[in-house]
């Protein structure tokens, strides 16, 4: 099976990237894995023109189609997101907004292949799971509109720096063992 692990943070070497690396390593033992960072791609903001509601295509030219080709390739998608003011980072939100042509709330719409499984990992610096749950809800809402089946999530509190991930590695590995 093919697994896409997406670091939804623009930081390529922080705690989120470290978690994505652990997930990719674990999943790589039984899957073909691509581990990417949202900041690897050039993604414009949605202009709100709604042309895609009539054409199922965006008028803008950037890397959104490339990212969606990775979603198409994958059987399993794992989005790993930190908390930016109690929700997903703006770069990831911009990508989600640009996925409107693939959104199942209007016809016509583009679509990725059926049968994909989605998993979410949220992390935050504070001790409350409330923010993690909000991030997970954002990712799962996105998955729902792409018709990716939500199959599991993990929230990690009190993780601010990359070094703090080491203390949570077993918890992350245990979660990865549920991904099938």
130 Cβ partners below 8 Å, 6+ apart?
A: 86
Q: Are 146 and 71 in contact (CB under 8 A)?
A: yes
User: For residue 110, how many C-alpha atoms fall within 13 Å in the half-sphere facing its CB?
Assistant: 18
pLDDT at 163: 96
Which range of residues forms the domain containing residue 21?
2-176
Determine the Cα–Cα distance for residues 38 and 81; give it in Å rounded to an integer.
Answer: 10
d(CA 174, CA 57): 39
Q: C-alpha distances in angstroms, 110 versus 16, 61, 90, 116, 155?
A: 30, 16, 24, 15, 31
CATH of the domain at 12: 3.40.50.360
Question: What are the 10-residue block averages of pLDDT along the chain, 180 residues in total?
Answer: 98 97 98 98 96 95 97 98 96 97 93 97 96 98 98 97 97 97
Pair 153, 162: CB distance under 8 Å: no
Angle between helices 90-98 and 64-73 (to 10 degrees): 80
The Cα 66–Cα 49 span in angstroms is 21
- The answer, as to whether pTM is greater than 0.85, is yes
pLDDT of residue 53: 93
What is the pLDDT at residue 171? 98
Which pLDDT does position 59 carry in this prediction? 96
The total of structural domains in the chain comes to: 1
Q: What are phi and psi of 173, to 5 degrees?
A: -65, -45
Tell me how far apart the alpha carbons of residues 143 and 120 are, in angstroms, rounded to a whole number. 10
Residue 177's CB is within 10 A of a number of other CB atoms, namely 11
pLDDT digits (tens, 9 = 90+) for 50-69: 999 999 999 999 999 999 99
Query: For residue 18, is it left (φ>0), alpha (ψ between -120 and 50) or beta?
Result: alpha
Rg from Cα positions in the chain? 16
């Amino acid at each position: 099976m093919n697994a896409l692990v997406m670091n939804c943070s623009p930081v390529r070497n922080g705690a989120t990237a470290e978690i994505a690396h652990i997930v990719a390593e674990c999943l790589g033992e039984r899957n073909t894995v691509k581990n990417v960072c949202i900041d690897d791609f050039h993604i414009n903001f949605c202009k709100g023109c709604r042309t895609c509601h009539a054409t199922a295509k965006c008028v803008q030219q950037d890397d959104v189609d490339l990212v969606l080709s990775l979603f198409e390739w994958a059987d399993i998608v794992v989005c790993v997101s930190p908390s930016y003011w109690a929700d997903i980072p703006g770069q990831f939100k911009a990508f989600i907004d640009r996925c409107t042509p693939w959104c199942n709330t209007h016809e016509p719409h583009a679509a990725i292949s059926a049968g994909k499984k989605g998993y979410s990992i949220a992390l935050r610096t504070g001790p409350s799971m409330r923010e993690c749950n909000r991030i997970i809800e954002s990712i799962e809402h996105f998955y729902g509109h792409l018709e990716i089946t939500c199959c599991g999530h993990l929230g990690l509190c009190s993780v601010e720096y990359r070094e703090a991930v080491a203390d949570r590695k077993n918890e992350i590995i245990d979660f990865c063992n549920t991904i099938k």
